[in-house]
Amino acid sequence: MNAPEILERLGGRVRCITIGENIWIGGTSLWYYEKEVGHLICLNLDGSLNEGVTNRLKKIDGNVYCITQTGNNVWVGGDFSHYGGKEVGRLVCLNMDGSLNESVMNKLEGFDDCVYCITKINNKVLVSGDFIMYGTKKVGRYIWLDLDGSLVK
């Protein structure tokens, strides 16, 4: 299946797509082959739904606006506050199987408003959005994180 065929099978509001070992698609109330799949889905490279991972991704409780992959991690940002009942503050770092990367998540502090962009530059993660607070720190509209989730000073 090629990219146009995959996109024809998507419904809802697609906000972001990243392709690596899998195809990760984020947005608002997504559908795939007329099946509701939530705000974040994972497809295999042949375009088939990776149901095991996608079922884990249903734990996200709001809109997804950005995704990037860094090695074996998938960083997801948007306007959501929980992942599987855990408070996450609009940014999560996932393992490739859709589970939380707990070692990274333990260092993340969360944002007071939406995350719209995540990108990897020189082994750092740039996060930007409408937020002005990261945890209890006033940071403006962007921050730099190390790949392990710690704030770059």
| Per-residue pLDDT tens digits for 91-128 | 999 999 999 999 999 999 999 999 999 999 999 999 99
> Of 27-41, 75-89, 95-109, which range is least confident?
27-41
Contacts of 121 (CB under 8 A, 6+ apart): none
Q: Across residues 125-144, what is the average pLDDT?
A: 96
Q: Nearest CA to 16 among 52, 69, 59?
A: 69
The confidence score (pLDDT) of residue 1 equals 67
Q: Across residues 127-140, what is the average pLDDT?
A: 96
Q: What share of the chain is helix, strand, coil (3-state, %, to 5)?
A: 10, 50, 35
Instruction: Give the pLDDT band (50/70/90) at residue 33.
Output: confident
Please tell me the distance from the alpha carbon of residue 28 to that of residue 41, in angstroms, as a whole number: 11
What's this model's pTM, rounded to 2 decimal places?
0.94
Tokens linked to 118 = 């995540």
